[in-house]
Structure formats: C-alpha cells, structure tokens
Amino acid sequence: MVLAGCGTENASQGKPDTGRIVTDAAGNQVQVPQEVKRIADLWHANNQVVLLLGGADKLVSTTQNVQQLPWFAKIYPRILDIPAPVKGVDIQLEELEKLHPDVVLVNNEKQLEKIKATGLPCVKVEYQDFDGLKNVINITAQVLGGDAQSRADKYIQQLDKNIELVHSRTQNLSEQEKPKVLHIVGGDDLLKVDGTETLIEQWIQFAGGRNAVEESGFQIHVTMEEIIKSDPDIIIVGGTEGKKGVEKIMISPEWSSLKAVKNHRVICNPVGTFNWDRYSAEVALQLLWAGKEFHPDLFTDIDLVDKTQKFYKEFLQYDLSKEDAERIIRGENPAQEK
C-alpha cells in the first residue's frame, strides 16, 4: 500500500486540512482534501462517471478525446470549455499544474507516476470488468464526496438489476443457440477487435452470445483470415465511426462470405455520452441492447428507447427526447441544430 498526497491549508480556519484517505483501483492509499472542489480527470471514460455522479461542475481538466464525443457535449456543453491538456495518454504537466486540481484521476501507471512527481494527489481508476467498473464508480464517488455515494449506490443497483434480468433469460440457452459475436473496436480499423477476459466478453455472454475471438485482451489485432475462419453470426462495430465501419463491411468483397454479412447482421453499437460497449456506465443499457439484438424473442417486453430516456433522466439529469434516444441506439450523432 502506498500513501500519497499531503495536507492542505484550510483557509477558512487557518488550520491544516488533514484530509481523508481514498484507496484507489491499484490499492494505493491516497490522501485527498476533506472537500474536493477541483478535479482533473485524465481518463476519457471516467469523465462520464464524474458526470453520472453529479460532479461534472468540479472538473477543471478533461481530455481532448472526451470533447470529441458529440453526445457528451450535447448533454453537458461546458465540457467544451474545460481545459484539456491531455491527448491520448500524453499530458502537458505544466498546463495541468496551473489548473491547481485538488485531485487528479488517471487510468494508467505512466500517467500516475508523472502526476505523483508533481506532488498532486493522484487516484487510479482503471478497470477491466464489471466488478472493476463498480469499484471505480465507488472510488470516484469517494473522491467527489457529497451525495455522490448515494448516486453510485443507485447506479450499481440498476446495473446489477440489468445484469440479472438479461442473464436470467439467456442462461439456459444451449451453445448452438448462442450466436458467435465479433466485436470490432471502431470503424477506423476493422481488424482491431476485443477478445476474451474483457468487459466486452462479459456482456456478450450475459446477453446469450459467444465471443468469436479466442485470444484474450482489449483492442487486439487479428488478420482477415482469422475473421473469415471464425465466421461470426453477428458483427458489432463500436465507436463514433461505427456506422462507417458497418458500411465498409457490407460493401467489401473480402467480408462478403461471412454469415453475419449474408444475413445482414452487421450492427453499429450505440454511443451516448461514452461508447456503450466499453469503459462506460452506459453499459447498463448495453446489456439490454445486446440481449434484444442476440435474442429478440426473449426481450420483446423491453422498450430500449424508453429505458434509455429513463436512464438519462435518472442518472444524468437530462430530458432525452425519443428521437435522440433512437439516434443514440442507432449509433448516430445528435441532429444538427438549425
């Protein structure tokens, strides 16, 4: 266990703020101020978690990747005005320090070591599966303070409810009844896929599918020959370029022999304030979407548009129109304002 961070001065009382301890995803014990008012969130996906927990107004630093997410900007326009000294995993440390964050949230060891060297309290929020997601939701809530923990508890209850609902309807399916699913990371690289031992494989399995990829890990590269050999029943393309990826596959001769293409089961994954499929609190909706796509006859009672609207209202405090919910589910960007 590593203790990081140092006491700060409580200006109102003129006494040192001894702070409080948060245990991060790596097991490090990090000392943060009693009241955290300024947060630098350097992991793209976790900005959505901060938004979900009601702490977005505390963000003083975000990432360029987050600012390029059209639905995040529509739901929370201020994200475009927040400094973003981070592109990918590269950090402009001097610019970050000028923002005087109370806490910095990161998702990889390289960032963690750089931030720790500045003396800023740094909390790691990385995860790989559903249990890790729940842990990071709780860690972020502890950093935020206030009513964030009650919001986190409410979200985790909903996530567990959706997991149970989907799994209970698919758990007795035979292997032959489970479609083989290829999950492609994004439309810009159709040979980058998600393998076993990942959150992606977990929701595929809960929804009654089988992963077409046998290699373990996120965002791994495969050959076209390997994809042809696996011959998936369903192909899902994620990311903000998902629709372009689907179009490429459907018109490409080298993909034409696959069952998924022949049966028109090449699908664009929904994208909301973050991609539903990966590192996203909206994976609670992804479970329902995948269940309906894999086994529509088992989920006829699930109105995904209504579920999406209610999720945005309850957890993001946003009144999402039916039309916008439908666009998110189809993987489309917001309609252009007239």
Q: What per-residue confidence (pLDDT) applies to 321?
A: 98
The C-alpha R_g of the chain, in whole angstroms, comes to 21
Domain boundary among 147, 182, 202: 147
202 token code pair: 């977990």
The DSSP 8-state label assigned to residue 123 in this structure reads E
Q: Are residues 8 and 123 in the same domain?
A: yes
Q: Are residues 325 and 177 in the same domain?
A: yes
In the chain, the number of structural domains is 2
Residue with tokens 């985790």: 156
67 token code pair: 């600012």
Domain that holds residue 143: 3-147
Q: Are residues 214 and 128 in the same domain?
A: no
91 token code pair: 């950090």
What is the separation, in whole angstroms, between the first and last Cα of the chain?
54
| Residue 203 belongs to a domain | yes
Q: What per-residue confidence (pLDDT) applies to 79?
A: 98
- What is d(CA 292, CA 208) in angstroms, rounded to the nearest whole number? 10
pLDDT (tens place) for every residue of the chain, 338 residues total: 444 443 444 444 455 567 999 999 999 999 999 999 999 999 999 999 999 999 999 999 999 999 999 999 999 999 999 999 987 778 889 999 999 999 999 998 988 999 999 999 999 999 999 999 999 999 999 999 999 999 999 999 999 999 999 999 999 999 999 999 999 999 999 999 999 999 999 999 999 999 999 999 999 999 999 999 999 999 999 999 999 999 999 999 999 999 999 999 999 999 999 999 999 999 999 999 999 999 999 999 999 999 999 999 999 999 999 999 999 999 999 997 65
| Residue 113 belongs to a domain | yes
Q: Are residues 32 and 80 in the same domain?
A: yes
Q: What does pTM read for this prediction?
A: 0.92
| Residue 284 belongs to a domain | yes
Yes or no: say if 187 and 244 are a contact pair by the CB < 8 Å rule.
yes
The number of residues in the chain equals 338
Yes or no: say if 144 and 58 are a contact pair by the CB < 8 Å rule.
yes
| Residue 20 belongs to a domain | yes
| Residue 161 belongs to a domain | no
Q: Are residues 283 and 229 in the same domain?
A: yes
Q: Are residues 177 and 135 in the same domain?
A: no
| Residue 125 belongs to a domain | yes
Q: What per-residue confidence (pLDDT) applies to 338?
A: 55
